[in-house]
Amino acid sequence: MAQINSITFDPPLINTSCAWASELHQLRELYDCVYIGGITTRTATLNGFNEDASNTVAFTKDSVSSINSYGYSPNPLHLYLEWVYSLLTTPNAKGDGPSKPIIISITSADDSELSEMVQQIQALRQKLHVEYEAKVSRPAIDPSTLIAVELNTSCPNIKDHPPPAYDFISLTSLLEVFANAFSVDSSLTFGLKLPPYMYSTLFDDAVSTLASFSKDNNSNPFAFITCTNTLGSSLLFEDQVLAPTAPGKFALPTSFGGLAGEALHSLALGNVYAFSQRFANHQSPAIRKIVVIGAGGVTRYDAVARMHAAGATIVGCATLLGKEGIGAFKLLTEKP
Ligand SMILES: Cc1cc2nc3c(=O)[nH]c(=O)nc-3n(C[C@H](O)[C@H](O)[C@H](O)COP(=O)(O)O)c2cc1C
């Protein structure tokens, strides 16, 4: 069991945001899976992303790795909010109210659009809370307390838009939107999806950027980070993957893509360890409280243990889910 603010993840295993958490039926299957303690939706934009045949994924032949050229979800935020409402208001098979948290992944390069997205999420939370309060016989948990928001700052596949987490000035401007929302309502749990960083001063800069939003030593708008996203500008040849998605010599029609799965595992572990050490040793209690969700190459039971040993409080996966379907989480849970 693990906590981010007052949100409980039991067990501390989730899916990270990905193409297999895109549609309602996929989210429902994830929500009902007993092996995971929370789910993450695919990254949504305000109005949906224009997807075409160049946005795709391929799995490697010789390891459980993937390369993908996806952007964001074609489904706009309002659809995810309808689906989250449905998941959080439908009793389970035993008739109990929902208790599993949902991390809503969102992104925008524009501060005012991002602000609009946060307001829409807050409106959903308010609606869930009011309906819950009005019930004569209330479920154990107020569903409005089960929502967290993850800002994806790290997709490597958006043409002419480098991931803002590699540019701390752009990142700061986006984070201000969350800091402002937090100053109005500190009950909303915010986190960041980060890209893989490759040298130590980048970790220092990321932590300083987060710390710059602390109001005092005990309060910071950011409750968690999820690291890492895929490694951009990666290249695989068609003979390295199970089903090439492009005619020609490369695995992807875009040639370049984001690498994930086992090929990313060491770098992801390094990122988790680098952040968890910096948080644990930080002078400010507000920063020491930030939870690390570890992702990247979690494809086996022992990889989950390695992520925890590196400092992850919660562990997530995407590639294994894509490859194995929902059975991925049983594989990660049961010692072989
Ligand atoms: C096909 C695919 C789509 C993804 N889409 C998203 C996304 O929409 N938003 C996001 O934050 N991360 C996305 N990711 C990154 C994953 O959440 C995860 O951080 C990364 O793949 C590393 O985990 P893994 O090794 O278990 O795949 C995607 C990954 C894959 C493979």
Annotate 186-208 with DSSP letters as a single string: TTSEEEEEEPPP-SHHHHHHHHH
For atom 4 of ligand 1, the residue with the nearest CA is 18
Q: Kindly give the distance from the C-alpha atom of residue 225 to the centroid of ligand 1, in angstroms, as a whole number.
A: 14
The finding on whether 328 has its CB within 6 A of some atom of ligand 1 is: no
pLDDT tens sequence across 93-150: 778 889 999 999 999 999 999 999 999 999 999 999 999 999 998 888 999 999 999 9
pLDDT tens sequence across 250-261: 999 999 999 999
User: Residue 32, class by beta-carbon neighbours within 10 Å (0-12 exposed, 13-18 middle, 19+ buried)?
Assistant: middle
The finding on whether 66 has its CB within 6 A of some atom of ligand 1 is: yes
CATH topology of domain 2-333: TIM Barrel (3.20.20)
For atom 10 of ligand 1, the residue with the nearest CA is 17
For atom 12 of ligand 1, the residue with the nearest CA is 17
The finding on whether 295 has its CB within 6 A of some atom of ligand 1 is: yes
The finding on whether 68 has its CB within 6 A of some atom of ligand 1 is: yes
Does residue 73 contact residue 49 with C-beta atoms inside 8 Å? yes
Q: What is the pLDDT of residue 134?
A: 95
Is residue 160 predicted with pLDDT exceeding 90? no
Is residue 36 predicted with pLDDT exceeding 90? yes
For atom 3 of ligand 1, the residue with the nearest CA is 18
Percentage of the chain surpassing pLDDT 90?
A: 92
Is residue 61 predicted with pLDDT exceeding 90? yes
The finding on whether 264 has its CB within 6 A of some atom of ligand 1 is: yes
The finding on whether 41 has its CB within 6 A of some atom of ligand 1 is: no
> Is residue 92 very low, low, confident or very high in pLDDT (cuts 50, 70, 90)?
confident
Domain ranges in the chain are 2-333
The finding on whether 245 has its CB within 6 A of some atom of ligand 1 is: no
pLDDT tens sequence across 216-270: 778 999 999 999 999 999 999 999 999 878 788 999 999 999 999 999 999 999 9
Q: Using the CB atoms, write b or e for 244-278: b if 16+ within 10 Å.
A: bbbeeebbbbbebbbbbbbbbbebbbbbbbbbbeb
The finding on whether 229 has its CB within 6 A of some atom of ligand 1 is: yes
pLDDT tens sequence across 176-193: 999 999 999 999 999 999
Q: What is the pLDDT of residue 139?
A: 86
